[in-house]
Amino acid sequence: MIKETIVDGFHNAPHRSLYHALGLTDEEQARPLIGIVCSYNEIVPGHTNLDKIAQAVKLGVAMAGGTPIMFPAITVCDGIAMGHTGMKYSLVTRDLIADSTEAMVMAHGFDGLVMIPNCDKNVPGLLMASARLNIPTVFVSGGPMLAGRVNGKKRSLSSMFEAVGAYKAGSINEEQLTEFEKKVCPTCGSCSGMYTANSMNCLTEVLGMGLKGNGTIPAVYSARIELAKHAGMQVMELVRKNIRPRDIMTAAAIKNAITADMALGCSTNSMLHLPAIANELGVPFDLDEVNAISEKTPNLCHLAPAGPTYMEDLNEAGGVHAVLKELETLGLLDTSVMTCTGKTMAENLENIVNLDEEVIRKPENAFGKTGGIAALKGNLAPDGCVVKRAAVAPEMLVHEGPAKVFESEEECIAAIYGGKIVKGDVVVIRYEGPAGGPGMREMLSPTSAIAGMGLDKDVALITDGRFSGATRGASIGHVSPEAANGGVIAYVKDGDIISIDIPNYSIKLNVSDEELAKRKAEMPIKKKEVSGYLKRYAAQVSSADKGAIINK
């Protein structure tokens, strides 16, 4: 649907009268109408600056001859929602965002869109919407937060969660904990490490839907406002050339995004969001292909929590495009793909230089020969599970130990703080999957508690839920099938030996098939009583290996 459908002709006079009610002149109505999808709110730190981004985008659109019209999209702050019932409402908003944006655009007939997301599910939700709607679209995010500083060291939100574990373990006192609290999140913006929000904003550049710098220019830099103006101007160019999201987000672009994901060391949540975006595009997505790409893609970045560098450092080093330039030299990208610049990726990379070879390693000096994420399979996860390999200590890449099983995140947290988790354990948290949670809660609290108490090099954690990009250690999520759907994870018992071999992409419950069959007959699947949107979501959502998409 385009503007002419509801604006031009005598029969559309009633529609035009309502545009006049908005104060739109005849001249404005005659220009392309550009929807500005702004996710501004006053509760998410990554979104409190989006009103300024939106105004800059509107100026850019107007300067290039369009008429900008803004409408909202929701988002949840995963950090604030972490560790309580609110986290059940995080992943589920991805589909609400996609659906509500589709409804607004189809009802009002825009010629083009500028999407202004920033945090977590907001970015993939709007990417899913753009794939569905397929009208000229540019993304410009709110940008990452600057790193905090405590005791002269850069810190971020994951440092805060780990500080809670350290306080509980007696490693720091209340005064030190308060110092972390006041200093780790010093500005607006998406939290400063390579967490989910920044992962997806970086991958938006790789997918060709965001301009250079979209993933890395800090929220508080004036360059972010300039980028927003350019995004507003660029969407008009896409409208004129009729370049649409499905011209840009092709199967090759999805593969490029997986490759860049491996080099950057992105959040494991990308293994939920890229499949969901691919599904909207009609592009197949297979976890086995993820491993195949990982095998030949070096891990070039160790951003927090995997290492000591932050998004501001990646920006100074040349940003996402500098990472792509290194991958281009290895022949790992299809650079013929179209982008929202109206040029191919190859053209966009022509004059790009890596400005800091410690932040973005050269391939011959990579942090690892393989990519940042691995998908594991075995009898415990026949359809797969994922781990952020780049954030796992070398001594935990291969691990075997006894299971300690918990039916929820809360039970696990109590056990960790109660000193019931010891070196060598394999913590299992189940009934936290997409349908079983429902909502597939992100579990930064238990992983941070384990790290804060100094156990991250000795204890593994496995769940059918998911983890924050802020997680480090042998944290394995997205176990599929999930417990609520009768997956093997539902039948694990305390003391069962679990073997993890990340380099060989293997995860195994060392229990015989006969014993598992006996347990399946004796151990009923647990069902949670839920209502409202969560009830509808639980009934419709797919497994994690399919991207936790809403089944059609």
Please, which residues have CB within 8 angstroms of residue 17's CB and are 6 or more apart in sequence?
A: none
Query: Which residues, 6 or more positions from 21, have their beta carbon under 8 angstroms from its beta carbon?
Result: none
Q: Is 468 a catalytic residue?
A: yes
Measured CA to CA, the distance from residue 76 to residue 47 in angstroms comes to: 10
CA distances from 280 to 53, 98, 133, 233 (A): 27, 10, 10, 27
Query: Position 5: which residue type?
Result: T
Indicate which residue of 192, 468, 480, 542 is catalytic.
468
Peptide bond into 438 cis (omega under 30): yes
The length of the chain is: 552
Alpha helices in 109-173 (DSSP H): 122-133, 157-169
- How many CA within 13 A on the CB side of residue 219? 30
What contacts 97, CB < 8 A, 6 or more positions away? 73, 74, 75, 121, 122, 125, 126, 128, 129
497, β-bridge pairs: 402
CA distance 321 to 323: 5
| Secondary element (H or E) of residue 511 | none
Using an 8 Å Cβ cutoff, are 192 and 309 in contact? no
Beta strands in 240-391 (DSSP E): 374-378, 381-387
Query: Which token pair is 217?
Result: 């220019």
Count the helix, strand and coil residues of the chain and give each as a percent rounded to the nearest 5: 45, 15, 40
Catalytically annotated residues: 468
